[in-house]
Amino acid sequence: MLRPLGDRVVVKVITAEEKTQGGIYLPDTAKEKPQEGEVIAVGPGRVLDNGTRIPPEVKKGDRVVFAKYSGTEVKVDGEEYLIIRDSDILAVKE
Amino acid sequence: MLRPLGDRVVVKVITAEEKTQGGIYLPDTAKEKPQEGEVIAVGPGRVLDNGTRIPPEVKKGDRVVFAKYSGTEVKVDGEEYLIIRDSDILAVKE
Amino acid sequence: MLRPLGDRVVVKVITAEEKTQGGIYLPDTAKEKPQEGEVIAVGPGRVLDNGTRIPPEVKKGDRVVFAKYSGTEVKVDGEEYLIIRDSDILAVKE
Amino acid sequence: MLRPLGDRVVVKVITAEEKTQGGIYLPDTAKEKPQEGEVIAVGPGRVLDNGTRIPPEVKKGDRVVFAKYSGTEVKVDGEEYLIIRDSDILAVKE
Amino acid sequence: MLRPLGDRVVVKVITAEEKTQGGIYLPDTAKEKPQEGEVIAVGPGRVLDNGTRIPPEVKKGDRVVFAKYSGTEVKVDGEEYLIIRDSDILAVKE
Amino acid sequence: MLRPLGDRVVVKVITAEEKTQGGIYLPDTAKEKPQEGEVIAVGPGRVLDNGTRIPPEVKKGDRVVFAKYSGTEVKVDGEEYLIIRDSDILAVKE
Amino acid sequence: MLRPLGDRVVVKVITAEEKTQGGIYLPDTAKEKPQEGEVIAVGPGRVLDNGTRIPPEVKKGDRVVFAKYSGTEVKVDGEEYLIIRDSDILAVKE
């Protein structure tokens, strides 16, 4: 399992084929269209200049939208994940 | 529904055709002309270095003006939205 | 009417033809020559890292000088305005 | 009259022909040679992150040296001035 | 032995051939694919603006994932190491 | 005389020909080789974000080494000086 | 002798030929391979925004590793030294 550091979040990307009815459909022509995923693990958050930590605004299980090309792809035990900064997540789908 | 994170705001863009009389008419020739929209949802705001949050200056229902090419387009349940940072909104139309 | 956000200011640009005698005459040859305008509305100001707001140094009715190409042009009810950051205003003409 | 904002200073540039004996003579060949001027008006100064203002280090009447191409030229009532940031002034001539 | 300074960490890179079963397999085609390594030594951490130190989030013996091309390669006593900033480590594998 | 502002320092550059025996000899081939000079005057220092001033680490009369192309050349009463930021001075020769 | 300012450190570079057995051998092919040196003198350290100084993490006599092309070369009394920022030193060899 991956434990993300700082303000990083591990996300399982959801590809278009996996989307349920009523889900988020992305514009086909956009060059940097957002992507959808599920949060698998969150880091402890970033440290402010006054020494306190700000925990990420997302939690495990959240369905999130983020800009394409954010983060770094990692493969663990045959599964592919994305490690992305909390601040690169645009919104939670509720 | 989309719940924006940090200082982000979800906006429903209003295209020129939808504008009411006495509305904002944008210069035709400007290359990066501002756009108009309605605020659908606001995030909790950005965190200052001293740990406090600054809530966005706009609220749900506000008619806002913002520079074109700000933000990221997202489509949810067939409806297209813009996720934009609070600081990229120029003014509220009252 | 437009209510500017943050440290933004709404300015009605004064073109050379409208200037009164004894007004500010700008150098003809300068490539980025300053412009003159009247402040129509001011935002609440920017937020410092310690959480306090710094109100803009200009007020409604001020005659201001600013560098050309600052700000974003907007047209409301047939009138054209400029939305500009407080920090891009160089001086007040008194 | 011009009242400069923030850390800006209004300077009347002194051209080489106007210089008195024993004045500052600038190297002829330097591409970005410094210029000399007289301070006409000073702004209230910049605001630090803790909310206090730092007044400019120069005062009205000071003879100052600054790098060429600093600031913005403005013409008021037929007279040409330079609006320059306090931090772009290199030294006071005493 | 190497004692890293500031927020730096000494890592022994684990190449693909050395990986155990069930380990992290990286995508073959990614141009900047992440790498895996073992933490050998950690620095005291970076100093915040308020003067306190933030110790690195990793400790000796941790199995870490980091973006390729992070850090600087060093060879000591015939062994090759990577000196990398704590903030360039993406996650710990547990 | 020149009174430097902020963290600036007035330096009289010492050219290679003026150097005494046992002085600093600079590498001939270096493209941005350091220079040597004598401090003539120092400014009050820069202002920190908490409002206090940090006086320059050099004083009048110090023999200093600085990177070439730092600062701005000025000529006063026929004498050429360099106005340089305190932070661009590398070391004092003792 | 050279007294470095701020967070600077004077280092005597150790070239490959001078290295003892069991020393640090650098990869031959790396384009920006790290270098090894001995600390000759350290500055008082950099000043934080709250006004306190952070002394360098290295001391006179330390054997240090740093990235090539860091710092500025100076020659004093026929001896060549490197003046480098404390933060550009990667590790101490113990």
User: Can you name the residues that pair with E14 across neighbouring β-strands?
Assistant: E36
* Minimal Cβ distance to D2: which of C33, C57, C65: C65
Residues F5-59: tens digit of each pLDDT: 999 999 999 976 545 455 555 444 443 467 899 999 999 999 998 899 999 999 9
Report CA dihedral (A19, A22, A24, A26) to the nearest 10 degrees: 90
pLDDT score for D23: 57
Against chain D, the chains showing at least 3 CB pairs within 8 Å are C, F
- Spell out the residues 6+ positions from residue F60 whose beta carbon is closer than 8 angstroms to its own: F39, F40, F41, F42
Comparison of pLDDT for D10 and C24, the residue scoring more: D10
D 35-64 near C (Cβ less than 8 A): 44, 47, 49-51
Q: Which residues contact F41 (CB under 8 A, 6 or more apart)?
A: F1, F2, F3, F4, F9, F10, F60
Query: Rounded mean pLDDT of chain G?
Result: 85
Q: Give me the mean pLDDT over the A54-61 stretch.
A: 97
Q: Give residue-wise pLDDT tens across range B48-86.
A: 988 999 999 999 999 999 988 889 999 888 899 999 999
Domain membership flag for residue G2: no
**Is G33 among the domain residues?**
yes
Subunits next to C (3 or more Cβ pairs <8 Å) are B, D
Nearest to D91 among F10, F73, F77 (CB): F10
Structure tokens at D14: 């002194």
pTM for this structure?
Answer: 0.83
| Mean residue pLDDT across chain B | 85
Q: Where are the alpha helices (DSSP H) in chain A?
A: none
What distance in Å separates the CA atoms of residue G40 and residue G10, rounded to the nearest whole number?
5
State the pLDDT at residue C34: 75
- Among A76-80, C16-20, F3-7, F66-70, the minimum mean pLDDT is found in C16-20
Predicted local confidence at residue B91, as pLDDT: 97
CATH number at residue B24: 2.30.33.40
Taking the Cβ of residue C92 and every Cβ of chain D, the question of whether any pair is shorter than 8 Å is answered with yes
Give C29 to chain B, closest Cα distance, Å: 24
- The partner residue sitting opposite F90, judged by closest CB among G49, G72, G80, is G72
**Count of structural domains within chain D:** 1
A54, B73: Cβ pair inside 8 Å? no
- ipTM score over 0.85, yes or no: no
F76 vs C92, more confident? C92
pLDDT tens sequence across G34-68: 789 999 999 999 999 889 999 999 999 999 999 88
Cβ–Cβ gap A30/B73 under 8 Å: yes
Contacts of F77 in chain D (CB under 8 A): 22, 24
For residue G46, being part of any structural domain is answered with yes
Instruction: Tell me how far apart the alpha carbons of residues D88 and D32 are, in angstroms, rounded to a whole number.
Output: 13
Buried b (16+ CB within 10 A) or exposed e, B53-83: ebebbbeeebbbbbbeebbbbbbbeeeebbb
Nearest CB to A5 within list E22, E33, E57: E57
Residue D40 structural domain: 8-93
pLDDT for position G32: 46
Strand partners, A55: none
Among C78-92, D32-46, F63-77, top mean pLDDT goes to: C78-92
Pick the most confident of A15-29, C30-44, C53-67, G24-38: C53-67
Q: What is the mean pLDDT of residues G2-25?
A: 77
G80 touches chain F (CB under 8 A): yes
Residue C19 maps to a domain:
yes
**What span, in angstroms and rounded, lies between the C-alpha atoms of C93 and C66?**
11
Task: Identify the band that residue E13 occupies on the pLDDT scale cut at 50, 70 and 90.
Answer: very high
Instruction: Tell which residue, C25, B70, B40, has the closest CA to residue D76.
Output: C25
Alpha helices, H only, chain B: none
C16 at interface of D, judged by CB pairs closer than 8 A: no
| Nearest-by-CA chain B residue for A93 | B2
The pLDDT value given to residue C68 = 82
**Residue D26 forms contact with F (CB below 8 Å):** yes
Q: What is the pLDDT of residues D23-53, one digit of tens each?
A: 555 444 443 467 899 999 999 999 998 899 9
Name the DSSP class of B82: E
State the pLDDT at residue D24.
57
B20 found inside a domain = yes
User: Are E and G touching by the rule of 3+ CB pairs within 8 Å?
Assistant: yes
- Tell me if B2 is assigned to some domain: no
- SS3 readout for chain D: CEEECCCEEEEEEECHHHCCCCCECCCCCCCCCEEEEEEEEECCCEECCCCCEECCCCCCCCEEEEECCCCEEEEECCEEEEEEEHHHEEEEEC
What are the chain C neighbours of D75 within 8 Å (beta carbons)?
24-27
